[in-house]
Structures are given as C-alpha cells and as structure tokens.
Amino acid sequence: MTVHFHEEDLPADVLAPGDVAVDTETMGLVTPRDRLCVLQISDGKGDEHLVRFAPGSSYSAPNLKAVLADPARVKLYHFGRFDIAAIQYYMGVLAAPVFCTKIASKLVRTYTDRHGLKNLASELIGADISKQQQSSDWGAPELSEAQREYAASDVRYLHAMRDVLVERLEREGRMDLAQACFDFLPARALLDIAGWADKDIFSHE
C-alpha cells in the first residue's frame, strides 16, 4: 500500500476503472464556513491518493472532477451526506452515484448503535483504524505523516466493507431499501447546503 500526495488535482489515469472510495477533510463541520482541505480517493487496488487544496484554491481540479462526476463509477463513502455536500459546495460536482457504508450499517447492524468507521472496519474486516488525527488542523501548510496515514485509512477499506455490507443487505432483504437511500443521498446533501441541514422535511411538523 502506498499513499500518494498531490497538490490541487489528481494526476491523469492513476486510478483503475470501477468504483472509487472517497472521503474529505475540512476545517470543520459547517460546510459553507469550513473549507475543503483534502480529498482522498482510492480505486481499491491498494494505493490511496490524497489531493490537498490550498487556502484560496479555485478547486478547478479537472482530472479529479472527471472521476467524481463519472456516472459509471459508484462513489463509496462513510457518511456520504457530509462529503457529497463539501464536494458540491467547493468543487461544483455532484459526486454520485453513491454507496454509503454508514447507511448500510444502520440498516443491517441493528444489534448495535456503533456505526462509526473504526467500529465498522473492526467488525466487518478485522481492520484497526486510528482516529487520533480526526480533529487535527487540515489547513496547515504541511500535513504530518500521521495526518496523511489517517486520511488514507479513511478510504483504504471501503471497498472491502461494501462487499460485506452488500451480502448482509441481501441476506436481510434490505438491498432495495438501501439503494433507495443511496439514490436520495445527493438530494439530502443539497438540502443541507440550501439550509435544511437540521430540518426533517418529511416530518409532520
């Protein structure tokens, strides 16, 4: 496994065809306020690519945008709602179609309320993910090796986790329901950006 670090865009043709795992690191959790600093992406073949954006970036990134916008590539996320919103807001790309391991986990791991990436990776594939750098400064001029490894680990296991979750969704007869949730997720992210982040528009109230 190799972690590749890039500035402002992904080099052309570094990803194999097929589905890609995607994650983002931002300055915080409020999308319009907290800029997108790093986007990590993996084709599941063993390497991870980190793309870092500088303060004031134009986020032009034509190679990366082409991958994210490709309707033939499913984008694998863990809590895709946040990442899709950040990518749309800063890069102007709706990064779909989608598979979200957090949603899938909530639909089939109903025996637990622990649906974080660390817990999920540990149970499903026996992988140990450190979350130590989760709240670090992703806008710093230099990213530490610990930050780079943390960012890479967030996409390293999503393909393998997706495979296990699909088996469970099919076993429990919930694959169609999960797919409907995944299909709606980009709209949910757009609602967040538009001001309905904390409102349930489907509720009676």
For a pLDDT cut of 70, what percent of the chain falls above it? Answer: 98
The predicted pLDDT at position 130 comes to 77
Residues 6+ apart with CB under 8 A from 120: 78, 101, 102, 105, 109, 161
Mean pLDDT, the chain, rounded, equals 96
Could you tell me which residue, 132 or 157, shows the higher pLDDT? Answer: 157
Q: Which amino acid is present at 185?
A: L
pLDDT per residue as tens digits for the range 150-159: 999 999 999 9
Q: Which residues are within 8 A (CB) of 17 and not within 5 positions of it... i.e. 6 or more apart?
A: 73
Is the torsion defined by CA of 167, 173, 179, 182 positive or negative? negative
Full-prediction pTM beyond 0.85?
Answer: yes
Report the relative pairing of strands 20-26 and 98-100 from DSSP bridges: unpaired
The answer to whether residue 52 scores a pLDDT higher than 70 is yes
Residue with tokens 């052309």: 12
CA distance 196 to 54: 29
Q: What does the pLDDT read at residue 113?
A: 97
Q: Can you tell me the distance from the alpha carbon of 32 to that of 70, in angstroms, rounded to the nearest whole number? A: 25
**Nearest one of 25, 21, 39 to 156, comparing CA atoms:** 21
Domains, the chain, with CATH or none:
3-196 (3.30.420.10)
pLDDT (tens digit per residue) in 171-201: 999 999 999 999 999 999 999 999 999 999 9
Residue 205 C-beta-side C-alpha neighbours within 13 Å: 2
Q: Helices (H) and strands (E) in the chain — how many of each?
A: 7, 6
Q: What is the DSSP string of 16-48?
A: -SS-EEEEEEESSS-TTTS-EEEEEEE-SSS-E
Residue 65: the pLDDT is 98
Q: Which residues of 29-59 are buried (b: 16+ CB within 10 A; e: fewer)?
A: eebeeebbbbbbbbbbeebbbbbbbeeebeb
